[in-house]
Structure 1
Amino acid sequence: MRNLIIKGSLIGLLSLGLASCNKSENQMIAHIGPVGTLNTSTTDLKLSLADGEKPALTLSFSKVEVTETEIPVTSTIQFDVKGNNFANPLEFVQKAYTFSPTVNQMNELMLKLGMKIGEQGQLEVRLKSEPAANAVSYSNIILLTGRPFKASSWIYMPGAYQNWSPETADSLLSSTSNGIYEGIINFPVGKLDFKITPKKNWTINYGDAGSGTFRLGGDNFNVLTPGAKKVMIDMNKMKWEISDAKIWSLIGSATPKGWDGDTDLKFVNDGTGTFTLTQDLAAGDIKIRYGHDWGINFGGSINDFVLNGGNVAVAAGNYTVKLNVTKTDAQGNPTAIKVSLQKNEK
């Protein structure tokens, strides 16, 4: 049994008449039971493209018992490759007490963790229980075995944003080859038109047919406003959608625009969720922020970017930045990232 002392402003939210409140010290004690056992329906993952939408497994656990003072407990399922000791796990915050990822989701997860297509590999999974930052505990570890498969396919998006060259066009990804392709593209001012090609040439191309549809040939697609956009192309129904997207950026005295503007990272539409940038930086400070907004920003040190961390000092030079989100909250907002900031030798 863990005891968690709750102080300060939280007391104002609770009745002064609660018997567990010690008025002389203005604190309460919540008695928190141990994290429960994590259970699984299987440890042998049968992964195939044909079964992509079926559950790969079901993980289940019981509610952590909290007595005296009721407080929220965050439950998170963590996955990592066997032997990594959960150094950089992929995490999924849970709202229920069962978690049933599909075959496609597990396949994508395994590939993101670096497992190789067609090779048998092992994953470890555990439950993280977090009533407070200083009261984290973990469940038993379950070992999963599986063989990820190749499921991805791509189409290409030549457009004004990259000077209409199909050979160097960004791709849109269908992670399960189901005919629905998505990606994030950053459109500069005045360069808002594009078309779709199944290969990196103009032999076959698709364009706008009006009312959210497209056809062979067709007019140029147009995203109407500049900025980062999520593009969805449904080759089955010949429909398309555009929506605003949030991307990551560098900001700070070391960047070309200083503290007054963002230097955007580019989303790599390859299924890994990676944002990247190669950029000359001056000697100075940087931070990383999401959606060109200070609401979600990361700093700290060059080897450890944490939420709301301080400015990070860098030496002058050319750098390659790679960023992946490793944890989000229940609303999908990033709360942890993995950043590689590598200085390039000239």
Structure 2
Amino acid sequence: MKTFLINKLYMILGVALLMMSCEKDEMRAILNPEARPEVALSSPAIVLYRDEANNEVLTISWQKPDYGFQAGAAYSILFDRKGGDFSKAVAIATGTQLKKSFTAAELNPILLQLGLVAGSAADLDIKVQAKLGEATVLVSPLATLQATPYLDKLDLSTPWGIVGSAAVNGWDGPDMPFYQTDKENIVVAYVTLATGDIKFRKDNKWDLNYGDDGANGTLEVGGANIAVKAGTYKITLDLNALTYTITKYAWGLVGSATPNGWDGPDVPLTYDPSSDQWRAVVTLKEGELKIRQNGDWAVNYGGANGTLELGGGNIAVTPGTYLVSVNFAKGTYTVEKIDVWGVAGSAAPNGWDGPDAKFRPDFANDGVWILDRVTLKAGEIKFRQNDKWDVNYGDDGADGILEAAGANIVVVAGTYGITLDFSNPGAPTYKITKK
């Protein structure tokens, strides 16, 4: 009897396995490998403009193929230069969605990443990839798009700079930079100087330099050093008239939401030449803020809905860490939440618990963060986001390459500048330079 039951059980199992095998064979039989997505573009050619960054410029869509059975595909859009092999394609996942609309601000960095030149039209190949499980990937025929990106960062650089005992890097440089203005051969610098002397020179060299023999605002080639007192200034160099002006000049944030309240000192805004804006990364409380010049109320701005108004109303904010950007040329401002990197550790100013010494974004280089100056003790450090350990990096190989949750980094006591570079997400790096 026992033998009979065992044999019957084997028969049942055999039939079940056979049925499962048949189902798999049937699944393979009805899966149509030609059931590829067909790509449709809302326009065959687009020109992107920086002033229209938030406008939708392109929609890529496709119909769900008839796979012959109920399939939950995961879709991705792949972009490559015309004629490319897609080995260096930019991939945008859409999940189960059958279309994706792009604003100019979303599409422009994709074009630049592929090597397109701002202001010049170039052709792209686009395809949609449908993934059904790990082994099955179906790819659409190519669609072609002609696209013209815009320069998403300004280049206001000039060959002119400020050098001297009052400058950050002394007489040896590198010099503090001047930037272009809307007037030819009139350049401007926004600098914080120590008490001492300065001169103006070209290309970080002494071949062409200007001083002021009469201390009267007139420039002479190879002239006398210009004496300055400690402070934050706007220096304007007129290379047409060979004159210069040095004016006290700073912008800052003040208010109940700022760390020092309405009495200040103000949170300083820093000039960003890549966007011609004044910017700061700041942790704010529940409250209000305004933007003012030189730490007093003679010139101040408020506003609402991103529009600046001279002497306008207070700007209400909620608690958080923000990137505040002020564009005086356009009369606008933004207050955007941002994740901020910091240094924690036994060597850091506030130990492992923080608050961390904070980095600032390098606005001219996406993914790069800079800590200009920090004094460390002998010990260990790591880099983490938002004063928390949820996202942190160390260095397992002590080779300058960062690993997520990697080993502590050993440092000796000293004052340093630190740069984090996440521009290559696959191999982020860091550099620690003694000051």
Using the size of structure 2 for normalisation, the TM-score is 0.46
* Partner deviation per Cα, 1:123-145 (whole Å, 9 max, x = no partner): 44332333445655544454543
Amino acid at match of 1:249: W
CA distance in 2, matches of 1:71, 1:232: 46
Alignment CA distance shift 1:84-1:207 (3 Å): farther
Aligned residue number for residue 276 of structure 1: 369
Amino acid at match of 2:429: L
Alignment CA distance shift 1:292-1:106 (3 Å): same
CA distance in 2, matches of 1:339, 1:192: 40
Q: How big is the shift at 1:215?
A: 2.7
Gaps (5+ residues) in structure 2?
Answer: 1-15, 155-249, 412-416
Aligned residue number for residue 62 of structure 2: 61
Amino acid at match of 1:342: Y
* Partner deviation per Cα, 1:179-213 (whole Å, 9 max, x = no partner): xx99873237899855168xx99999542368998
Aligned residue number for residue 430 of structure 2: 342
CA contact 1:214–1:239 (8 Å) conserved in 2: yes
For the pair 1:311 / 2:393, whether they are aligned, the reply is no
Alignment CA distance shift 1:78-1:300 (3 Å): farther
Amino acid at match of 1:185: V
Aligned residue number for residue 40 of structure 1: 41
Aligned residue number for residue 15 of structure 1: none
Q: Give 3-state SS (helix, strand or coil) of 1:215's partner.
A: strand
Larger Rg: 2
Q: Give 3-state SS (helix, strand or coil) of 2:72's partner.
A: coil
Amino acid at match of 2:72: P
Aligned residue number for residue 195 of structure 1: 291
CA contact 2:382–2:392 (8 Å) conserved in 1: no
CA contact 1:206–1:214 (8 Å) conserved in 2: no
Alignment CA distance shift 1:88-1:192 (3 Å): farther
Q: How big is the shift at 1:228?
A: 0.9
CA contact 1:267–1:275 (8 Å) conserved in 2: yes
Query: Aligned Cα RMSD in Å?
Result: 5.8
* Partner deviation per Cα, 1:110-168 (whole Å, 9 max, x = no partner): 24655432234454433233344565554445454333234778xx9633679658773
Aligned residue number for residue 78 of structure 2: 78
Alignment CA distance shift 1:265-1:314 (3 Å): same
CA distance in 1, matches of 2:134, 2:387: 26
* Partner deviation per Cα, 1:262-318 (whole Å, 9 max, x = no partner): 755534556x76352348798868575579463x6788978998xxx8632475466
Q: Give 3-state SS (helix, strand or coil) of 2:111's partner.
A: helix
CA distance in 2, matches of 1:54, 1:212: 17
Amino acid at match of 2:421: K
Amino acid at match of 2:46: L
Alignment CA distance shift 1:286-1:236 (3 Å): closer
Q: Percent identity?
A: 17
Alignment CA distance shift 1:233-1:313 (3 Å): same
Aligned residue number for residue 266 of structure 1: 360
Amino acid at match of 1:159: L
Alignment CA distance shift 1:203-1:189 (3 Å): closer
Q: Give 3-state SS (helix, strand or coil) of 2:47's partner.
A: coil
Gaps (5+ residues) in structure 1?
Answer: 1-20, 175-180, 327-336
Q: How big is the shift at 1:341?
A: 0.9
Count of aligned residue pairs for this structure pair: 296
CA contact 1:212–1:240 (8 Å) conserved in 2: yes
For the pair 1:158 / 2:260, whether they are aligned, the reply is no
Q: How big is the shift at 1:97?
A: 2.1
For the pair 1:217 / 2:311, whether they are aligned, the reply is yes
Alignment CA distance shift 1:164-1:52 (3 Å): closer
Alignment CA distance shift 1:138-1:210 (3 Å): closer
Amino acid at match of 1:125: I
CA contact 2:341–2:369 (8 Å) conserved in 1: no
* Partner deviation per Cα, 1:69-123 (whole Å, 9 max, x = no partner): x553221223355659454725252553233434554335424655432234454
Aligned residue number for residue 129 of structure 1: 130
